[in-house]
Amino acid sequence: MKPSIPKVHEGVGFAHGKIILMGEHAVVYGHDAIAWPLLSSHVKTIAKQVSSSHIHSSLFDGVLEQAPVYLKTFILQLQDALDLQGVDLTITSDLPLGAGLGSSAAIAGSITAACFDLCHQPLPLADRLKWIHVFETSVHGNPSGVDGFMTSTQSPIVFNKIKGFQTIQTPIQGFLVIAHSQVFGSTKEAVALVARYVKQHGMKQVDELGKFVQQAKLFLTQGNLVGLGRLMFQAHQALKELGVSHPQVDRMVEQALTAGALGAKLTGGGLGGCVIALFQDAQHAQALLKQWNVQGYAPGWVLDLHHG
Ligand code: MEV
């Protein structure tokens, strides 16, 4: 006999963070981006079927009617598609917002997964990405799709919004320090700033970033950590020229280089957010993380690029 579906059922959805090693912003214009999953930080959503919808989260707690419009619209669309009268969502996260780590894509992914789970509906990756795209389009206007993909999958990838993705195979042995500048950057503003820059000055700077990504792909295949570090710094300079860095982020990049990093740059949308710094060995990486934590740049992580 088939087990009957319990009447009171909870749906659960997860998503993790992401780091863009190189290619943010250029990816919006059709260039490749290299991205790594940040598997140690998550958004979790629990969904319950109710007659009138509520959201419980650190950002907003209350009835759906009063939620920020982008969240309300998204959830109403999901409810409609799944034929749900109402849903009670509890969203918890250790992924900081406005940090360039994919929090908005992760929130959308975890809500979508929880609602589909609640309705016992399978959620193929393509559908999950479609829903994240809906959310991200209203949050930041022109998403390339890299955040949705990377917060939903587990391997480092090269992402291209036209050609799709390729899993990265690399012999590289290195450590990435990631820390929050405590300046909260808006991806929407950053993407709009770059669009204005391109309108005024053309594509040269964006294409330059795209070239760095192609070289970085080669260095990853060859295991050339020193070359990769140099490119990260050059990419940071190009992003600064596009107007999406921040003085605090630039100071952290300088500090990282002084601490022996092979390269350092902003990651994600910019205008604040996180800085990433590349090291050959774990000890120096941990030392910088400690220094940054003492200075209040937190949260932070050390990511082993070889073992994830
Ligand atoms: C944000 O993490 C990455 C950007 O390139 C925007 C996008 O690709 O959607 C700035």
Integer angstrom CA distances of residue 242 from 147, 187, 206, 291: 20, 14, 8, 29
Predicted confidence (pLDDT) at residue 260 exceeds the cutoff of 90:
yes
Two structure tokens written together for 294: 């003492």
Residue 272 CA to ligand 1 center (angstroms) comes to 14
- The per-residue pLDDT for 226 is 97
Residues with CB under 6 A from ligand 1: 20, 24-25, 27-28, 100, 102, 143-144, 146-147, 187, 190-191, 268-269
Q: Average of pLDDT values for 36-43?
A: 96
Residue 280 CA to ligand 1 center (angstroms) comes to 27
59: enclosing H helix or E strand: none
- The per-residue pLDDT for 306 is 85
Question: Which of ligand 1's atoms lies nearest the C-alpha of 244?
Answer: 10
Predicted confidence (pLDDT) at residue 1 exceeds the cutoff of 70:
no
Distance CA 181, CA 101 (A): 12
Residue 34 CA to ligand 1 center (angstroms) comes to 11
Q: Average of pLDDT values for 1-8?
A: 51
**pLDDT band, residue 8 (cuts 50/70/90):** low
Average pLDDT score over the chain: 95
Predicted confidence (pLDDT) at residue 188 exceeds the cutoff of 70:
yes
Q: Average of pLDDT values for 180-191?
A: 95
Predicted confidence (pLDDT) at residue 7 exceeds the cutoff of 80:
no
Question: Which of ligand 1's atoms lies nearest the C-alpha of 145?
Answer: 9
In terms of Cα–Cα distance, which of 113, 122, 117, 128 is closest to 10?
Answer: 117
pLDDT per residue as tens digits for the range 292-305: 999 999 999 999 99
Question: Which of ligand 1's atoms lies nearest the C-alpha of 26?
Answer: 5
Q: Average of pLDDT values for 202-231?
A: 97
Residue 36 CA to ligand 1 center (angstroms) comes to 14
Q: Average of pLDDT values for 218-245?
A: 97
Q: Average of pLDDT values for 228-240?
A: 98
Percent of the chain residues past pLDDT 70, beyond the cut: 97
- The per-residue pLDDT for 180 is 97
Residue 217 CA to ligand 1 center (angstroms) comes to 19
Q: Average of pLDDT values for 67-74?
A: 96
Most ligand 1 atoms within 8 A of CB, residue of 146, 149, 157, 161 to mutate: 146
Distance CA 38, CA 176 (A): 11
Residue nearest atom 10 in ligand 1 by C-alpha distance:
269
Q: Report phi then psi at 273, rounded to 5.
A: 75, -150
Predicted confidence (pLDDT) at residue 137 exceeds the cutoff of 80:
yes
- The per-residue pLDDT for 9 is 83
- The per-residue pLDDT for 232 is 98
CA angle in degrees (0–180, nearest 5) for 151-232-102: 20
- The per-residue pLDDT for 168 is 93
Question: Which of ligand 1's atoms lies nearest the C-alpha of 142?
Answer: 9
Residue 46 CA to ligand 1 center (angstroms) comes to 27
Q: Average of pLDDT values for 102-123?
A: 97
